[in-house]
Amino acid sequence: MRTAAEVLPVEVLRALTTVLPVPTVIGSFARDYWALCVADVNRVAVTLDVDVTILVDTLQEYRRVLTALGAGPRDSVVKVLGFEVDVIPYGGLETDGIVETTPGVTLDVTGMREAVAGAERVVVDDLVVCVPQLADMIGLKVIAWGYRQELTDKDARDIGVLFDVTHRGPFGDELWQDEAAGVRCDYDPVLMGPFRAGRSLGRSWDPTSRLRLTETLSRNAADLAARISRFDGSVAGLRMEQIDALRSGVQVP
């Protein structure tokens, strides 16, 4: 098991606090926090990209934050201590969950507001950062995959890792206290974990976000399962069952 100080890019995040007092980390380092620091799942990909998210109402406000961080007039990425930091906005500048970070470059940030609201505060020495909960990370990754699956497979890769985390470490211990999840999934921990994550999303995400999530999970789920299995050598059929369990959890009344 590794510590947050070993996994998170602490000095990069500390440098950001001059503008973002409590950075919210998403993307690969948030994935690694849950995989390496909490569940001890050691199958992660090395990255030098740091993703953080900020709440802004307008594109002008977003540009002001980027400028303060040292970005150029058309950039959404800043260089900090050799790392590329991608600053992803959400809030009032969204249109149906979509944001345009630079001309022609768009992202789907559906669920980001809920993920930030429920994020875990992680303390490393004098630094405080926020990391979305495991279930929210899965939801955000599914949304991202649905929006940019033609451009990258990295979201599928990360979903596979996060699915594995749902039934390992403390999350695995919690499974056996959840009779409802056990009954739903025939007490198979590999399915109970994703089901519980989906149920958490169904309870915490607003109706519009839930609808987009379930639509994404219902569309090309077999392709998502196949892409996950290509990364980690797992059985695509099992990954498909996990996707179905996640979707079932979201839809629990």
β-pairing verdict for 83-91 and 49-56? parallel
The distance from CA 230 to its chain's CA centroid, rounded to whole angstroms, is 20
Question: Do the beta carbons of residue 62 and residue 105 sit within 8 Å?
Answer: no
- Is 12 in a helix, a strand, or coil? helix
Asked whether the CA dihedral 95, 100, 106, 107 is positive or negative, the reply is negative
**Side chain identity at 214, as an amino acid letter?**
T
- Assigned token pair, 159: 């979903």
Count of Cβ atoms closer than 10 Å to residue 49 Cβ: 14
Looking at this protein, which amino acid is placed at residue 10?
Answer: V
Each residue's pLDDT tens digit in the chain (253 positions)? Answer: 899 999 999 999 999 999 999 999 999 999 999 999 999 998 667 777 999 999 999 999 999 999 999 998 888 999 999 899 999 999 999 999 999 998 899 999 999 999 999 999 999 989 999 999 999 999 999 999 999 999 999 999 999 999 999 999 999 999 999 999 999 999 999 999 999 999 999 999 999 999 999 999 999 899 999 999 998 899 999 999 999 999 999 999 8
> In whole angstroms, what is the distance from residue 203 CA to residue 199 CA?
6
Where do we find the tokens 């507001």?
113
Cβ(197)–Cβ(171) below 8 Å: no
What is this structure's pTM? Answer: 0.97
